Structures are given as C-alpha cells and as structure tokens.
Amino acid sequence: MLNIKGKLFDSLSYHLTKEEREWRIKNIYRRELGYSLLQRFLISASEIPLIINSFIAILVLGITFGLLLGSNGTHNIVRPDLDIANLASYFSALWTVQAAISGLIYPIVISFVTFLLQRRHSAKASLDVYLNDTLAILSGVSGLSLILVMAIQHLLLSKAAHQIVTISVKIDILWFVVNLGGTIWFLTRTFEYLRPAVRSQIYTRYAINIVLPREVKEYLREYLYSNAPEQGLLPGLNLNRLSMEREPSVVFGDFFTGTSKEEVVINIKGKRYFVDVYFQILKIAIKRWLGRANSAYANQTRTGSFLDRQQIPLLIFPLHPGEEYRGHTPICRIEGNVHLSRLEKLLIKVSFSLQKHP
C-alpha cells in the first residue's frame, strides 16, 4: 500500500515508490529471483531491529502491568491448572534455554563465519549479505529482548496472582517459540551459506532485491526531483529550456549560487538529510511566485529593461536529495527582484522534509 500522506501531498517519496513498484512488477529477474512477501517483511524489520524488539518488549510489559493493575477483577480469567512451583520451573527453564541460545549459538556461529570470510577481499560485504540473509541481528536481538523482559517480569510477578503469572508465562512461551523459529532459520541459512553453489545464489538474490533497488532509488530520486517541472510535477522550465527560452522559471540544483540571493533559510541543529518534498504544497508557492514574476518580466521586457540574464526572475532550490546538511542552510534562493511573500516562504519551508536519517 502506497503512503497515504505521500499520495495526498504528491510527495517525492510517493512517486519514487510508485516507479519502483512498477519496475519490480515488469522486471523479469526481480519476479523470478525476488524474495517472498514474508522474507521482504522480515528483511525490512531487520533494518530496525532495536525499534521492532523494543516495541514488542514494551507491549509485553504493558500487558503485564495491565494485568497487575487490574488483578482484582481477573482472578478467574485462566483456570489455575498449574501450581506456583510448576510455573516457577517453567519460567526458569524458559529463561535458561533462551539465555543459552542467545549467549552461545549466535556468537559462536557468527564468529566462525566471520573467521572464514576474513580471507576474502570483500569480507565486509560478504558478512553484510550473510547477516541479512540469516536475519541474525533481528532474531539475536529478539532473544536478548525476551531475556530482559523476563528479568523484569521476575521482579514484578514474585507476589502476583496465579492467573497473572500463568498468562505472562504463556506470552513468554509464544515469544520463545517465535525466537526458536528465528534460530532454526538462522542455522539453516548458515549451513546453506557455507555451500559455494548456494552462496553464489544468495549473493545474486541479495544484489537483485537489496542493492539494485537502492541504487535505482538513489538515482531516480535525484532525477525526479531535478526534473520535476519536466515531469509535470511542478510548474516551470528545466535548465535546458530555460537557457533557450530565457523567461522566469524554477531551477532545481545549486546553480547561480554566486549571483542569487538567499530567500528561505533554516538553521539546523546537528545534521539532517534532505529526504522528501511535498510537490502539492510547493506547487502553490511556485504558482503564486511565477504569476508575479511573469507580470514583472512582461512589463520590463516591453520597456527594454531585461538586457541581462541576471535580471530574469529565477526561483532556485539548491538542495539535493539524500545529502547531509548542517547549520545555516538556504533551501530557496532567488535571482532578480521578485521576492517571495511570507505565505510562500512558509509553504516552501513546510514542503521540504529534512530528517535525521537518510
């Protein structure tokens, strides 16, 4: 499902996702060697393992706190088919097994594979492919998260009602089963990775499903942004047509920075990456400015005032998608004497999205 916010405001990321999806559907190699829907979801989750597992941990602890707070009315939720001694043994056994898996299997196996890959010139890239294919980071962090959650539960549930302890243990068992599935996948894919024939297939699928889409998105983002007027996303002329037709227009890129003046500036604390722009909002500001610029240009052309290119009104957006910016950052410059109104400046500021991560 495409981003609803991006579709509503006609964002750059929306068009990028749309183009990438159409390319994935039409490309025969991506169809034949593409990851399954589940595998794509898990690999996407493995890019943010801390966020995913933190959410699960907070959810489980939230359920535990909720049961404790409402314990007065929950005595009969679950039949007390296990006594406290059995529950304690279940809890301790589960805790011990998960700790053993997380503390022994993952470090030993990953260290072994890393040692084997050291002899390769592309050791770092090969290790990245291995960790991605085996979901080692996602499943490993999930196991450690369960251990931490159970440690907190051990403190909270020491004097809790029997039913609450039973529910908490069953939730932990369910999480443990999921982690066990992740461990089985990790070991299975590790054995497959150690086979040279299968390893080459893993590299090919990784290149087609991960590396190539990233490269395509990077260049396509710059292309769509720089050629937004030509693509019909924004009003104005591209740089080639501007050089021929010599009329007020919009320029995307750090051109004419020596002669243009800063019009919209933001001060960035730390660092930010230019990741998105909302064309629907930006279009309003550009149309308003172009209306005034065209009128001024037409009036001064009739009087012969426009003899120098520097006098032709230009609206310049010097940022480049994906690049890092710090401190004093102009996001819009002008050339000529047609300035932006306060509303137009506000619309331009809102339309550009700079975030901490690219």
For the segment 119-144, the average pLDDT, to the nearest whole number, is 90
Q: Measure CA 207 to chain center.
A: 19
How much is the pLDDT for 301? 56
**In whole angstroms, what is the distance from residue 219 CA to residue 348 CA?**
24
**Two tokens, residue 280:** 């629907």
Q: Tell me the three state secondary structure of residue 118.
A: coil
In the predicted structure, residue 36 carries a pLDDT above the cut 50: yes
pTM over 0.75: no
Residue 8 confidence (pLDDT): 84
List, for residues 240-288, the tens digit of each pLDDT value.
Answer: 555 545 678 888 887 776 678 889 999 988 899 999 999 999 999 999 9
Q: Which of 44-58, 63-77, 302-316 has the lowest mean pLDDT?
A: 302-316
Tell me the pLDDT band of 177, cut-offs 50, 70 and 90: very high
The tokens describing 159, both together, are 């004097």
Is the pLDDT score of 188 beyond 50?
yes
pLDDT at 307 over 50: no
* Confidence grade of residue 306 (pLDDT, cut at 50, 70, 90): very low
Tens of pLDDT, residues 312-342: 788 889 898 988 999 999 999 988 888 899 9
pLDDT at 174: 93
Q: How far is 215 from 221, CA to CA, in rounded Å?
A: 10
Torsion, Cα 64 66 67 72, to 10 degrees, reads 150
- Mean of all residue pLDDT scores within the chain: 83
Average the pLDDT over 181-192 and give the result. 94
Long-range contacts (CB closer than 8 Å, 24 or more residues apart) made by 70-78: 71/160, 71/161, 71/164, 74/161, 74/163, 74/164, 75/161, 75/163, 76/163, 77/163, 77/167, 78/163, 78/166, 78/167
pLDDT of residue 76: 44
CA dihedral over 58, 62, 63, 64, signed as positive or negative? positive
Tens digits of residue pLDDT in 214-252: 888 888 888 888 888 888 888 876 555 555 456 788 888
Q: State what percent of residues in the chain have pLDDT above 90.
A: 33
pLDDT band at 304 (very low <50, low <70, confident <90, very high): very low
